[in-house]
């Protein structure tokens, strides 16, 4: 931004005053027209937007045809956007996803035969997770955010977590208390690690954070919030949970601090005890400062002891702690509603037994707290807590951990369980559904399906919905494509046995075992059972090849099949090594390396599977070479080692991306094979501990290096898939019998 901070804030306040002078309906109509122009610019003039009188307690929309125009009505901008998406999906068979869209509208828009009226049974449709901001959104600019906000509105989301620019508020608060720039540099992490900084797990890692980042992301957050509110979206802003700089003890030597450690190879962080009078003061100050800059919708996210145990399991202690956290919010905003991620009840169930959960929740008035059942499709906490002891709560699909690439999901659960929970008399005050994945921009079918629940109170009929999804996505009716998806439904998306998507051994740190530290290779289906889906989707190429969504899916299914094949090939070279068969060892290790190179070439045809954009987007935020290098290091580190050279989290956020496969994963395997080859030649046992040390040193060098990777796709997805199909399919059929 060219304007100075004070001028910018003044302009913002004037803008907010102007907004206040207009009715909400006027703003929603104007913003809805603007959204339509962004989504379907050539056909925008064919839509009429009208506000829908609020006669129902929850959001509603209508779609109607009149005099060659499509009338979209809604009680707010989200409802109107949902009306648009309903029309596009149902009448023009279009679709908008992160990974390919179909917006080929007919010249003459079809008219609905009768007025369509839809009302949602859910007051709130929640979106995002602290981790999403790191694993997927670290480097987003306004152009990318604008697309995401449109996507939210089209899919009915009205309650997103909004934590961009939080560091600006912390900087203001702590500097007003006497903290220096040096103090704050020892506090803030680099941008890729904000998710865990915000949750109090990590300080300072991969910093120091440049001032330019703090100011630019303050401005970005202002834009994000203004657009969301114009559309009737109510963002959830953060609140104070006690996380303070390490230098706090220097400035306030009498403060009551708890030193805690996340146990993942990082230094201690410091939590201000809620009993300390400073706790309430800082909590109030934070929200006041935040409200000056970002406004408020009275929804605040606060997660105490995220993946850290409290010092006591005494219910009285936990109740008092919870009450003080809420009091910190209420002191600045009497209308404050605490939105709590329920992850701690899932991740540390040994500590959080019913008595402890009840104490934590019951200390806050029911109408001032909402609990996010963060992983409901896998383990519904609401069922073992008497529906959170009377608190309003939201059913969520978590789905993806760490941004790993894996075709996986519980498609039957997502189709049926939200409506089943809503109808269950034991579900208490279920007021919403949501998406709380750690990363996005993959597996779009699960997110389209979850959004389908928004405007109905009955389970989604997958037998009807899935073929319609495929038709809307590809723009043509293909029996082969539908058959492929029916196989995917019963294999990769059956959701059995495992918590989240399996990974491929090729992205694990080299080993003779079946899995590496974070590399879970156990699949929820038999490898051979996925092959017919590959057969069918390859057969669909002639009819579907013009579709961007099809090309993405074609690459994704092929990627999954080849990634799965890594394990059988690994078993071949392991056996050759154990049998001291040098010739076979060379043959199968070469096949293994060729497989990795082939997957890399395949993924280079789709931007969503490329390392280059991730690094380029990171470097783009830098205003000088040092900043660009810092952001590139952040970007490289998070998706490989995660922490330092000895990080226990290495591979947690592994990605099957072109560029990363050839330059990182394949090189590691080449080095490992060199060690094994030397062992075969000398007859001496390999020193695997020495190898692990040398490879972690090499990984750290890679993290700290710099290289420009392509940002544009290269090659034809359909052509390369057909080549790989010819190369691998027959052998796979033999190997996987």
pLDDT per position as a tens digit, 100-110: 999 999 999 99
Under the banding of pLDDT at 50, 70 and 90, the label for residue 311 is: confident
Domain that holds residue 81: 5-118
Same structural domain for residues 146 and 38? no
pLDDT at 298 over 60: yes
Quick one: three-class SS letters along 615-678?
HHHHHHCCCCHHHHHHHHHHHHHHCCCCCCCCCCCCCCCCCCCECHHHHHHHHHHHHHHHHHHH
Mean pLDDT of 133-146: 98
Report the pLDDT value the prediction gives residue 22, as an integer from 0 to 100.
52
Provide the pLDDT for residue 348.
Answer: 86
Predicted pLDDT of residue 514: 62
Per-residue pLDDT of 450-500, as tens digits, reads 999 999 999 999 999 999 999 999 999 999 999 999 999 999 999 988 889
Same domain, 128 and 112: no
CATH number of the domain enclosing 601: 1.20.120.670
> Do 104 and 233 share a domain, yes or no?
no
Q: How confident is the model at residue 13 (pLDDT cuts 50, 70, 90)?
A: very low
Asked if residue 467 is part of any domain, the answer here is no
On whether residue 615 sits in a domain, the answer given is yes
Taking the C-alpha atoms of residue 534 and residue 492, their distance in angstroms, rounded to an integer, is 12
pLDDT of residue 263: 87
Is 195 a member of any domain? Answer: yes
Q: What is the pLDDT of residues 167-221, one digit of tens each?
A: 999 999 999 999 999 999 999 999 999 999 999 999 999 999 999 999 999 999 9
DSSP-derived secondary structure for 473-537: HHSS--HHHHHHHHHHHHTTTB--S-SS----GGGSPP-SSS--SS-----SS-HHHHHHHHHHH
468 within some domain: no
Q: Tell me what pLDDT residue 99 has.
A: 98
Give the residue-averaged pLDDT of 702-725. 98
Q: Are residues 612 and 711 in the same domain?
A: yes
E strands, 267-330, are 269-272, 299-301
- Give pLDDT tens digits for 352-368: 999 999 999 999 999 99
Rounded to whole angstroms, the Cα distance separating 692 from 710 reads 30
Within the chain, how many helices (H) and strands (E) appear?
A: 29, 17
pLDDT per position as a tens digit, 20-60: 445 566 668 899 999 999 999 999 999 999 999 876 679 99
Is the pLDDT higher at 347 or at 233? 233
Where among 79, 99, 118 does a domain terminate? 118
* Last residue of one domain, picked from the residues 427, 460, 493: 460
Range with lowest mean pLDDT among 8-17, 19-28, 250-259: 8-17
Percentage of residues of the chain with pLDDT beyond 90: 88
Within a domain: residue 416? Answer: yes
> What is the layout of strands, in order, in the sheet containing 47-51?
47-51, 69-74, 60-66, 116-119
Are 181 and 97 within one domain?
Answer: no
For residue 649, the Cα-to-chain-centroid distance in whole angstroms is 18
| 50 shares its domain with 156 | no
Q: Using pLDDT thresholds of 50, 70 and 90, give the confidence band for residue 71.
A: very high
pLDDT of residue 17 exceeding 60:
no
Spatial separation of the C-alpha atoms in residues 162 and 591, rounded to whole Å: 46
Q: What is the mean pLDDT of residues 260-281?
A: 92
455 and 520 share one domain: no
Q: How far apart are CA 240 and CA 329, in angstroms?
A: 8
What CATH code is carried by the domain that includes residue 100? 3.30.379.10
Phi, psi of 48 (to 5 degrees): -120, 130
Token code pair at residue 561: 């099949």
Same-domain check for residues 510 and 655: yes
Residue with the bigger pLDDT between 543 and 344: it is 543
Q: At what angle do helices 444-452 and 462-474 cross, to 10 degrees?
A: 120
**Same structural domain, 357 and 429:** yes
Q: How confident is the model at residue 520 (pLDDT cuts 50, 70, 90)?
A: confident
Specify the range with the lowest mean pLDDT, choosing from 132-136, 171-175, 500-504: 500-504
**Residues 575-584: pLDDT tens digits?**
999 999 999 9
Cα angle: 122, vertex 123, 126; to 5 degrees: 85
CA distance 193 to 206: 8
Q: Indicate the residue among 64, 86, 118 that finishes a domain.
A: 118
Number of neighbours of residue 395 by Cβ within 10 angstroms: 26
Rounded to 10 degrees, the C-alpha dihedral 444/449/454/456 comes to: 160
CB 88 within 8 A of CB 134: no
* φ, ψ (nearest 5 deg) of residue 125: -125, 100
Strand blocks (E) in 149-253? 159-160, 237-238, 243-244
Q: Any bridge partners for residue 259, and if so which?
A: 270
**Is residue 14 scored above 50 in pLDDT?**
no
Q: Is residue 248 part of a domain?
A: yes
Same domain for 257 and 275, yes or no, is yes
Question: Does residue 143 share a domain with residue 264?
Answer: yes
Say if residue 310's pLDDT is above 90: no
- Does 466 reside within a domain? no
Instruction: Determine the pLDDT at residue 56.
Output: 67
pLDDT, averaged across the chain: 94
In a domain, 606, yes or no: yes
pLDDT over 60 at 656, yes or no: yes
CB atoms within 10 A of CB 41: 10
User: Which pair of structure tokens corresponds to residue 601?
Assistant: 């070439």
The residue among 351, 445, 460 whose CA lies nearest residue 400 is 445
In this predicted structure, what is the pLDDT of residue 84?
98
Does the pLDDT at position 128 exceed 90? yes
Domains identified in the chain, total number: 3
Question: What average pLDDT does this structure show over 267-276?
Answer: 93
Q: How many CA atoms lie within 13 A of 184 on its CB side?
A: 19
Strand, helix or coil at 214?
Answer: helix
* Whole-number Å distance between alpha carbons of 235 and 225: 7
Name the band, by pLDDT with cuts 50, 70 and 90, for residue 516. Answer: low
Lowest pLDDT segment from 27-31, 222-226, 348-352 = 27-31
Q: Do the Cβ atoms of 514 and 505 come closer than 8 Å?
A: yes
Together in a domain, 700 and 718:
yes
Mean pLDDT (whole number) for 291-301: 98
Task: Let me know how long the chain is.
Answer: 737
CATH at residue 364: 3.20.20.80
52, exposed or middle or buried, with CB in 10 Å at 0-12, 13-18, 19+?
buried
């Amino acid at each position: 931004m060219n304007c100075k901070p004070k001028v910018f804030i003044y302009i913002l306040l004037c803008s907010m005053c102007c907004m206040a002078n207009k009715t909400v309906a006027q703003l929603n109509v104007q913003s809805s027209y603007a959204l339509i122009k962004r989504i379907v610019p050539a056909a925008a003039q064919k839509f009429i937007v009208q506000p829908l009188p609020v006669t129902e307690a929850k959001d509603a929309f209508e779609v109607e045809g009149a005099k060659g125009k499509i009338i979209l009505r809604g009680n707010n901008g989200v409802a109107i956007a949902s009306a648009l998406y309903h029309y596009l999906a149902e009448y023009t068979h279009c679709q908008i996803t992160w990974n390919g869209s179909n917006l080929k509208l007919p010249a003459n828009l079809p008219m609905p035969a009768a007025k369509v009226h839809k009302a949602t049974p859910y007051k709130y449709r929640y979106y995002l997770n602290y981790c999403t901001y790191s694993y997927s959104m670290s480097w987003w600019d306004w152009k990318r955010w604008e697309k995401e906000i449109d996507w939210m509105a089209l899919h009915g989301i009205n309650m997103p977590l909004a934590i961009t620019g939080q560091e600006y508020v912390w900087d203001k608060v702590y500097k007003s208390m006497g903290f220096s720039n040096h103090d704050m540099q020892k506090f803030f992490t680099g941008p890729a690690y904000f998710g865990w900084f915000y949750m109090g797990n990590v300080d300072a890692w991969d910093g120091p954070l440049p001032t330019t980042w703090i100011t630019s992301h303050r401005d970005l957050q202002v834009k994000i919030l203004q657009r969301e509110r114009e559309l009737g979206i109510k963002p959830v802003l953060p609140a104070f949970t006690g996380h303070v700089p390490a230098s706090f003890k220097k400035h306030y030597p009498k403060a009551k601090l708890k030193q805690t450690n996340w146990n993942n190879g990082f230094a201690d962080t410091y939590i201000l005890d809620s009993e300390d009078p400073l706790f309430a003061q800082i909590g109030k100050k934070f929200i006041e400062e935040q409200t000056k800059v970002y406004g408020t919708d009275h929804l605040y996210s606060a997660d105490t002891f995220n993946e850290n145990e409290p010092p006591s399991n005494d219910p009285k202690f936990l109740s008092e702690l919870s009450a003080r956290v809420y009091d910190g919010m209420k002191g600045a905003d009497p209308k404050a509603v605490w939105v709590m991620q329920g992850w701690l009840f899932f991740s540390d169930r040994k500590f959080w037994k019913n008595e402890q959960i009840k104490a934590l929740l019951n200390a806050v008035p029911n109408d001032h707290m909402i609990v996010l059942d963060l992983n409901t499709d896998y383990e519904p906490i609401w069922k073992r807590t008497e529906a959170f002891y009377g608190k309003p709560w939201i059913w969520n699909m978590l789905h993806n951990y760490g941004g790993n690439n894996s075709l996986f999901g519980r498609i039957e659960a997502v189709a049926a369980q939200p409506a089943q929970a809503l109808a269950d008399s034991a579900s208490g005050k279920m007021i919403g559904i949501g998406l709380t994945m750690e990363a996005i921009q993959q597996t779009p079918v699960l997110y389209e399906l979850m959004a389908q629940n928004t405007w109905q109170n009955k389970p989604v009929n997958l037998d009807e919905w899935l073929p319609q999804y495929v038709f809307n996505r590809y723009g043509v009716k293909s029996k082969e494509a539908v058959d492929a998806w029916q196989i995917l439904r019963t294999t990769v998306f059956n959701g059995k046995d495992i918590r989240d998507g399996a990974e491929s051994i090729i992205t694990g740190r080299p080993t003779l075992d079946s899995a590496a530290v974070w590399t879970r290779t156990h699949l929820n289906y038999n490898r051979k059972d996925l092959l017919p889906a590959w057969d069918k989707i390859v057969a669909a190429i002639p009819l579907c090849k013009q579709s961007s969504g099809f090309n993405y899916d074609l690459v994704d299914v092929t990627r999954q099949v080849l990634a799965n094949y890594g394990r059988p090939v690994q078993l071949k070279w392991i056996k050759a090594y154990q049998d001291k068969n040098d010739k076979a060892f060379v043959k199968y290790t070469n096949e293994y390396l060729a497989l990795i190179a082939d997957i890399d070439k395949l993924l280079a045809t789709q931007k969503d599977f490329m390392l280059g954009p991730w690094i380029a987007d990171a470097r783009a935020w830098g205003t000088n070479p040092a900043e660009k290098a810092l952001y590139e290091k952040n970007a490289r580190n998070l998706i490989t080692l995660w922490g330092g050279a000895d990080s226990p989290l290495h591979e947690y956020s592994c990605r099957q991306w072109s560029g990363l496969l050839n330059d990182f994963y394949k090189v590691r395997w080449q080095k490992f094979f060199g060690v094994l080859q030397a062992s075969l030649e000398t007859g001496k046992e390999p020193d695997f501990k020495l190898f692990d040390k040398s490879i972690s040193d090499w990984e750290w060098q890679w993290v700290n290096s710099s290289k420009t990777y392509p940002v544009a796709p290269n090659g034809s997805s359909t052509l390369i898939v057909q080549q790989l199909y010819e190369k691998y399919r027959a052998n796979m059929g033999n190997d996987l019998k």
